[in-house]
Each structure stands twice: as structure tokens, then as C-alpha cells.
Amino acid sequence: MVNFPEVVVRGGQLRFAPKTPFSPAVAAGLLPERDRILAVAGQPVRTIREVVEAEAQVRDFRPVPVEVERDDGRRLTLEILPVLPLARPDWAFALLFCAALGFMCFYLILRLPEDPASNLIALAALFYLVFTAVKPFYYESLASNLLVHLGKLTSWFMVFFALYFPQALGSRLMRRTLISAVLLVCAGFIAVRLLYFWRWQQGLGDLWYLRYRELGRWQNAADGAAFLAYAGLLAASYLRSPRPEERRRIEWILAGFLIGVPPYFFLDQLPLILGEPPGLRISLGGFANFFLAFVPLLFLVGLLRHRMFNLRFFLLRYLLYFLLVLLIFAFFLLLYVPVEGFFRRAYGLPPRLSGFLVTALLFLVLLPLRSLLCTVLEKLFFPGHYAGGARYSATLETRNRELRLLLDELNRRQRRSFQMDKLAEMRQLLEGIAARIGGPVESAAAELPGNPRARSGLLELRDFARKLTSLAGRSRSGVQRVSVEALCRAAGAELCRRFPGAEVRLEGGAAEGVRCHPEELAQVLRCLLDNAAEAGAGRPILLRLQQDGGQVSVCVEDEGPGFPAGWRPFRPFRSTKPGHDGLGLYFCKTLVERNGGSIRILPPLDCGARVQVTLRE
């Protein structure tokens, strides 16, 4: 399973020769270079190809018997227990790494389809995803072998990416020539290697397999050269670029490799560092897939032009936390043996139980200590960074608050725009209704000069239709500066003509005019005076004018019964007088607010009603 097959032919004998010490075969007791393979799963084997064919017949994870002959002449049958990947926790990290590669690939293709650099690195991620998924089936077929070779093009596509990132290097002809030449050489190399593999697969001898392996060593050297070229091109772009944002993007990419690559090699070689514990069947490098998942994700951050990064701060912090982890680990090793011995002596616990309790206890003690040390080190070594972080958080909170206010204002304007559209539709509808009613009403009123009651009813119908049109919001006159006092005198004179017994008194004055629609303000005064005349039953009506602080107010006072307690006067179709439509005050409120003013009911002085209209100068 690991770097399969693990045999070589030397002196006509099939010898066990694993590439790494982490192997199910090594864990089963096979000795490298000392054991001659005689049979696998009951099938005699003499060549490497026969070993592959015998292994291909194994369809489950039960122990596989392998017959060997030691160099001292002894014949043994050893049982190799295959590794079930799903039985190991690190398979989830491998799945996470594959998901990160796939997300990076398709997100870049969808987000930056016109960017050559992004497309090239997306292809590199796709190739490496295929390589990671198909590698366990390396020798199964010609198709799987071809896919693995395509996956090994990842390093060269990273070189092509560096030719375009962050800015294109050289001329277009040079880049295209270089990319075409490399791809042609790679295609020829893959074709030759696949030819060797196919001849070996057809049983034409292990010589073709040896040639295939020899070309594989050249391929590994070429991959190393490609990664060096990639690093050199990125370093040159970093040093040459005068723009800080481009250097930040390269730093994000570098950070991904610093997070992912060192833990991989450390975990992969950890069993060798600890002295190859017996029975280890596979390396611990699979756990590093968790760290490798940061490589494509930070690639994405760099490609999407994120600016918040500081390479020096990152490296210092990386080194500081690494030293802190080593320190905590040293404390753990220093305290474990005496504390574990104390638990066994004091409580008589068996070794496994005491070891578990001591490990849990030390974690509970050392983890808070680690957090405390982290806080102290951050304040000692990075005070400026966290002061800047606090300022950034405060600025971000302020901007979020401003953004919420802007969104609220935008929603209000959107609702107002929607209401204005609906109002325009209503205005057109009401104007059509008024036009359809007005013509026939005028004609009928002209035909009834001898019937004042019928004529009055028709004229009320006409006025009601005009009132609805005014409420819809279209004024025949534009905004003008007019004298409120003149409008009040004209409204009072008109009322006296329509109500011969009415008396209107004007108190106060307003020297400055106001900007409004004169016709609409006249309609408001006419409506308020009509209400006062009807409620006062011939008693005097007072128009009180007042100018104060850039505002002009008009108060209409009558001596009628006033408004009932708890009555809401500005709601439509509600009236204190029978036979009325109940739109008067609602009509006034709509027109006043449309002209930038306000209207309110004042408490009566003795009796009657007081309605005040306030307008800006």
C-alpha cells in the first residue's frame, strides 16, 4: 500500500526492499534485503509483476500470508495485516485537504475566470487533487498510472503561475514559448514512461519496470527543480515589486507553505526521531494533511488581494509559539514520571489508569498556563500590533454602525420611492375619475338654475372629486414665496362671501413670506375656515398669525363645541358632523406636510377648537 511494490530483483531472487520503514510488511516481521519472497497469498512469485498480480487478487482486509526464505535458509510464513484507512483518524484530514483543493480550484475558476495566474493555479490544484485521490491505485491500470502522471504536473503549473503572478514576467511570446516547450517535454516523458509501464504490465519482463523506475528518479529531480524555480520566481517578484499590496499577496501564499510543509516533514519523520516503535505500519505524515489544507486556503486569500498581513510579524509569532509548544512539552515530560509514580504509590492504581489520570491532570494544568503565557508574550513582544488591532476593531465597529444607519436610510428611501410610485398611480386614477365626474357635474349644474339644493349637491360632488385629486399630490402651481397674511385675508374674504353671516378677525402679522404651493395652502385655509364656520354657528372666527425663529404659524380658533375627548382628528373618513365625508383635516394634514410644514390641535382656551399650521420661511 505504501510506495508499492516493495520488492526488487537482485541476482535472480525476489527480495523484500521497502522504501520506508513504515509498512504493514515491516510491522509483520519481514526483514529488508534479507527475506526472499517465495509466495504471496498462496501464489508463487518470481518477478515484480507476479507480486503485483498476486496482490491484486486480495479483495479484503484479512491477513495476507507471505512465504519467505531468510538468508540463513529458514522458510517462514508471515501474515501481513493490511491497513484500513478508515480505521485511522488521519483519513478525515486527508478528506479535508482534498475538499480544500477542490474548493480552491472551482472557486477560482468561477470567481476569476479571466485571470491567467488564477486559472493556472486552479489547474495545479485540480491535478494535485487527482494525484492525491488516485495514488493508492498507482499500479492498478494504465489509466490510473496516466492520472498519477498528470497529477505530477502540479509543480510545473506552479512555475507557470509564478510567470503571471502578481505581474506577468517577460513578453507574451516568451511565456507562451516556455510553457509550450515544458508541456511538450512533459508529454513526451509521460508517453515514454507509460510505454515502459505498459510493456511491463504485459509481462515482457521486469527490465521495463526498472527502466520505468529510473525515469521516475529523473521525474523526482525535475519536480525538485520546478519547485526551486517556482520559489525563485516568487522571490524575484517579491523583491522587484514596488507595490505593497502585491507583496502582501505573496506573503499570504508563503504563509500557507510555512504552516503546511514543516509539520508534514516533522510528523512524517517523528517515528524515526522517537526510535521506530515496533508495530508501526504507516507514517504519521497523514496527520499533516490538516496543516496542508491551509496551503490552498491561504493561496485563495492571497489571490483575492487581501492586504492585512505582515510577514515579519508572522514569522516571529510562528517561532515564538513553536518555542512555547516545546517548552510546554518539556514541562509535560518533566512532570509526568514523578506525578504518575505518586498516583500509583498513593492510590494503588494500575499503570494504564494512573497514566490516563496524570495525562488528563497535566493537560488541565498546562493548558491554562499556556494561555497565560501566550497573553504575557503577546503583550511583551507585540504591543504595537494589538494596539493597532484594538484601533482597527473600534474603527470597524464605527463603520459597521455607520453602515447600519446607511442601510436604514436606504430602506426608508426605498419605501418612500415605492410609496411615491403608488401615489403617482393613484393620482392618475383619481384625476381620471375627477375628469369623468367633473364634466357631467358642470353640465348638470348648469341645467338646474332653478333648483339650488340639487345644484349645491352637484357642486359638493365636484369639490369632493377635486379634493381627492389634491390629496393625490399634483399641484397646478409651482413652489413660490407668498405672504401668509395675504392668503389669510383672501381666505377670510372668500368665507364671508360664501357664508354671509360669518365674521373673521385677523390678529398678529407675518412680514416674511413662506415657500410653498400657494394653491394648496389656500385650500388648507379654506377647509379650516369652513370647519370653523360650520362649528361656530355664526360666532366670530379668529385667525392668529405669529412669526418666530424662521417659522410662520397660523392658528384658526372658533367658539364651537370643540373636539370630543380622545378623538383622533387626522384620520380619514372620520367626522364629528353628520353628513360630512371626514376628509377635511386629513386633507389639510397631507397638504401641509407636503409643503414642509406641520399641523396640530391646540388645547382650547375656553371653548371651541384651535388648529395651528406651522410653515418654514
pLDDT of 540-555, one tens digit each? 888 888 888 778 888 9
pLDDT band at 458 (very low <50, low <70, confident <90, very high): low
User: Which pLDDT tens digit goes with each residue over 145-155?
Assistant: 899 999 889 99
Provide the 10 A C-beta neighbour count for residue 285.
20
CB 148 within 8 A of CB 138: yes
d(CA 77, CA 50): 18
CB 11 within 8 A of CB 33: no
Q: Is 486 left (phi over 0), alpha (psi -120 to 50) or beta?
A: alpha
Provide the 10 A C-beta neighbour count for residue 38.
17
pLDDT band at 1 (very low <50, low <70, confident <90, very high): very low
d(CA 516, CA 389): 53
For residue 525, pLDDT beyond 90: no
For residue 309, pLDDT beyond 50: no
CB 224 within 8 A of CB 157: no
- As separate numbers, helices (DSSP H) first and strands (DSSP E) second, the chain gives 18, 13
User: Which pLDDT tens digit goes with each residue over 188-215?
Assistant: 999 999 999 999 888 888 888 889 888 9
Q: Is 205 left (phi over 0), alpha (psi -120 to 50) or beta?
A: left
pLDDT for 270 equals 65
pLDDT for 419 equals 64
Look at strands 75-80 and 43-44 and give their pairing: unpaired
Nine cell digits for residue 133: 485521490
Phi, psi angles (nearest 5°) of residue 139: -100, 10
For residue 392, pLDDT beyond 50: yes
Secondary structure string (H, E, C) spanning 479-540:
CEEECHHHHHHHHHHHHHHHCCCCCEEEECCCCCCEEECHHHHHHHHHHHHHHHHHHHCCCC
Print burial letters for 51-86: b (CB count within 10 Å at least 16), e (below 16).
bbebbeeeeeeeebebbbeeeeeeeeebebeebeee
Average of pLDDT values for 410-433?
72
pLDDT for 317 equals 63
Q: Which helix (H) or strand (E) holds 15?
A: strand 13-16
DSSP for residue 152: T
For residue 423, pLDDT beyond 70: no
For residue 384, pLDDT beyond 70: no
For residue 291, pLDDT beyond 50: yes
pLDDT for 382 equals 63
d(CA 526, CA 47): 114
For residue 114, pLDDT beyond 80: no
For residue 99, pLDDT beyond 90: no
Question: What's the alpha-carbon Rg for the chain, to the nearest Å?
Answer: 46
pLDDT band at 468 (very low <50, low <70, confident <90, very high): low
d(CA 489, CA 495): 10
Strand partners for 76:
68
CA 578 to chain centre: 62
d(CA 538, CA 560): 10
Alpha helices in 15-69 (DSSP H): 24-28, 48-56
d(CA 552, CA 515): 11
Cell 500470508 belongs to residue: 65
pLDDT for 2 equals 41
Average of pLDDT values for 363-377?
74
d(CA 146, CA 490): 98
Average of pLDDT values for 112-138?
84
Question: What 3-state DSSP class applies to 37?
Answer: strand
pLDDT for 313 equals 57
pLDDT band at 539 (very low <50, low <70, confident <90, very high): confident
pLDDT for 284 equals 61
Question: What pTM, to 2 d.p., does this model score?
Answer: 0.51
For residue 532, pLDDT beyond 50: yes
Among residues 436, 418, 417, 440, the alpha carbon closest in space to that of 428 is found at 436
pLDDT for 585 equals 78
391 vs 189, residue with greater confidence = 189
165 vs 536, residue with greater confidence = 165
CB 473 within 8 A of CB 423: yes
Cell 430602506 belongs to residue: 411
Among residues 230, 248, 391, the alpha carbon closest in space to that of 312 is found at 248
